[in-house]
Amino acid sequence: MKSLWKNEEVEGFSKDPLQLRVYTSRLLGANPDLVLHGGGNTSVKLSQKNFFGETEELLLVKGSGWDLATIESPGFAPVRLETLKRLAELETLSDCEMVRQQRAAMTDPGAPNPSVEAILHALIPFRYVDHTHADAVLAVTNHPDGEQSIQEIYGNRVIVIPYVMPGFVLAKKVRELTQNKNWSDYEGMILMNHGIFTFDDDAQESYEKMIELVTLAENFLKDRKALDSLARAESEEDLQKLSLIRREVSRIRREPVYAQLDSTAEACGFANLKNINELASRGPMTSDHLARTKPEPLIINDDIEKDVSLYARNYDDYFRRNTNGSQEILDLAPRWAVWPGYGLVSYGRSLNDSKVVRDIVSHTARAIQIGEALGRWEPIAEKHIFEAEYWELQRAKMESFKQSPEFQGKIALVTGAASGIGLACACEFVREGAAVTGLDLNADVENILDRDEMLGVACDITDSGAVSNAVDETVRRFGGLDILVLNAGTFPAGKLIEDLDDQTWDKSIEINLKSQQRILKTCIPFLKQGVDPAVVFVASRNVPAPGPGASAYSVPKAGQTQLARIAALELGQFGIRVNVLHPDCVYDTGLWTQETLERSAGRYGLTVEEYKSRNVLKSDVKSYEVAKMVCTMAGSIFAKTTGAQIPIDGGSDRVI
Ligand code: ZN
């Protein structure tokens, strides 16, 4: 492991202890082999003048909710050192009281809650304290002879603490085991099955000790050839099954989740291990991960519904075996899955959640194999796993991540998404928590919809191969498909039937009708596996109230409407709702230019302004208003409606 410290980077603040603390915390956070996503914590002890000008000794410790990789100085909670030390002397301290007393001892009420390890940081008599969950240390300590190996690696250079629950209990244990020790005799502290601490009065030294001690553990693994045994395998792909597993996991969890397949050679190699069922179920790398991963993964065999139900039953049993009656059981769904032949799947209510799980799991898969190569991978016992998983402070941390916009965890596909109504729909779905794939003939869509939860795909919807690829890419990226919005269309210039050329007619039929049927057909197998699936056709007011000269546009739109009605009849048995929206007077889309507006207005003998407000409500309709209606129709308000046609046109006297 290499030190990332660079003298030139600290030049401006080499005398500022808090800035140095921020800097080395970020160096730790930058290395995923040390900490992952919010894991680990650091602190610095400082004398500061309070409001009244009196000097106080403070511990500035990482605040809960901050990530070491991106932490800034407001991420450190300032707590009076004396109070923390006094708390450590108590016989017992409930989590709730610990949080209250720590908050009460803060000199800035606006700062975040101090890390759950604040008391432990306070006990270590050095200015800088660094704590990580280094992979190499965990691989060595999650082993029946872990302490022996630690002794072999470090000799007397470190204090060794057997596993106990993090928080107050751990701080007590450390206090008890170090009472007759001189901290200056040690360079670090190993917490079995949990992680490692280093400390020093100098920021750089404390950080460099971390790098050095972890490197020693890495060298030990190299010497034992434990790193040589990492399995690798080629993976297959089965998007239909991936989406079915997501549906089943969402069903058990009672909310939609994203599913991300890690099909790298390492992930697949791990999933294919012979004793994977037993091996993957032994427990986590460090209890810190439990809130993200739960103790065990789902193991996928052939019968997916059975596998998921079995997981739920086992989780329920595990809870009942361990609860003292005061805890409330979490949902029964897995957070990740081992899928032999295909790789590892991670689940999350947000894409970020599933990404965090994916990263933790890929490090865990490696550590498990290293542990096995050393003799045996053996994490903490089940009762400790349970105690840590149901630790109210961990739970509180997870609860704060919860937010539930309407489409959180759902996956939508919108056609014609580079501009106008389609783009407005894509944005509205994402704003309401969904992940969206947007198709458009305009290749700019790939730049317009380029975020984690937005996938833009340049696609000619008349090309069935391209459509099929775009649908596959959606499932590959997000795990399934729940909502289809058929919005793309063409608006040919108005012509009387006797003047209409075949080419214009054929092109409109191709785009506005035939392609719509093909997209729907391609999506149906995935929609059948969707969570509360819905299809919305964006047709036109022209369907119920056609105008002369608009046959090339109106006829395929009427066909679309009939297609939707039949789809509603055919797909209802699978819970798929199909509804039609008929917009009109939407002038902020690509279809309408000043020129086409003037031409259309002229045909009715109106000015552009008169033309734009020629409906009953005397108001034009905005793209975003149509998008909101599309979302409403795809959402819970329309849960019991299918086969309906809804106008959004400001009221047409010809329709009413
Ligand atoms: Zn820790």
pLDDT for position 396: 64
Expressed in angstroms and rounded, the spacing between residue 111 Cα and the centre of ligand 1 is: 21
Full 3-state SS string of 93-120: CCHHHHHHHHHHCECCCCCCCECCCHHH
For the chain, the structural domain boundaries read 7-223, 239-399, 411-590+621-646
From the list 128, 311, 315, 553, the catalytic residue is 553
Contact 407, 429 (CB under 8 A): yes
pLDDT for position 597: 86
Expressed in angstroms and rounded, the spacing between residue 357 Cα and the centre of ligand 1 is: 17
Q: Check for a shared fold between 7-223 and 411-590+621-646.
A: no
Over the stretch 26-85, which tens digit does the pLDDT of each residue have?
Answer: 999 999 999 998 889 999 999 998 889 999 999 999 998 899 999 999 999 999 999 999
Quick one: average pLDDT of 281-309? 93
Mean of all residue pLDDT scores within the chain: 94
Over the stretch 459-483, which tens digit does the pLDDT of each residue have?
Answer: 999 999 999 999 999 999 999 999 9
pLDDT for position 600: 81
Expressed in angstroms and rounded, the spacing between residue 314 Cα and the centre of ligand 1 is: 28
Quick one: average pLDDT of 285-301? 93
Q: Rounded CA gap, 231 and 372, in Å?
A: 12
Expressed in angstroms and rounded, the spacing between residue 347 Cα and the centre of ligand 1 is: 24
Over the stretch 84-131, which tens digit does the pLDDT of each residue have?
Answer: 999 999 999 988 899 999 999 999 999 999 999 999 999 999 999 999
Share of the chain above pLDDT 90, in %: 88
Expressed in angstroms and rounded, the spacing between residue 197 Cα and the centre of ligand 1 is: 9
Over the stretch 623-649, which tens digit does the pLDDT of each residue have?
Answer: 999 999 999 999 999 999 999 999 999
Over the stretch 518-538, which tens digit does the pLDDT of each residue have?
Answer: 999 999 999 999 999 999 999
The architecture that CATH gives domain 411-590+621-646 is 3-Layer(aba) Sandwich (3.40)
pLDDT for position 583: 95
One CATH from 3.40.50.300, 3.40.225.10, 3.90.180.10, 3.10.180.10 for 7-223: 3.40.225.10
Q: Which of 282-286, 333-337, 491-495, 535-539 has the lowest mean pLDDT?
A: 491-495
Per-residue pLDDT at 590 exceeds 80:
no
Expressed in angstroms and rounded, the spacing between residue 463 Cα and the centre of ligand 1 is: 53
pLDDT for position 394: 67
pLDDT for position 395: 66
Full 3-state SS string of 494-528: CCCHHHCCHHHHHHHHHHHHHHHHHHHHHHHHHHC
239-399: CATH homologous superfamily? Class II aldolase/adducin N-terminal domain (3.40.225.10)
* Long-range Cβ contact pairs of 489-496 (< 8 A, separation 24 or more): 489/416, 489/538, 489/557, 491/553, 491/591, 492/552, 492/553, 494/547, 494/549, 494/550, 494/553, 494/600, 494/603, 495/549, 495/551, 495/552, 496/548, 496/549
The region, left, alpha or beta by phi > 0 then psi within -120 to 50, assigned to residue 618 is left
Is 553 tagged catalytic? yes
Q: Would you state the torsion angle of the CA atoms of residues 24, 29, 31, 34, taken in this order, to the nearest 10 degrees?
A: 100
pTM: 0.92
Contact 86, 102 (CB under 8 A): no
Name the helix (H) or strand (E) containing 258. Answer: strand 258-262
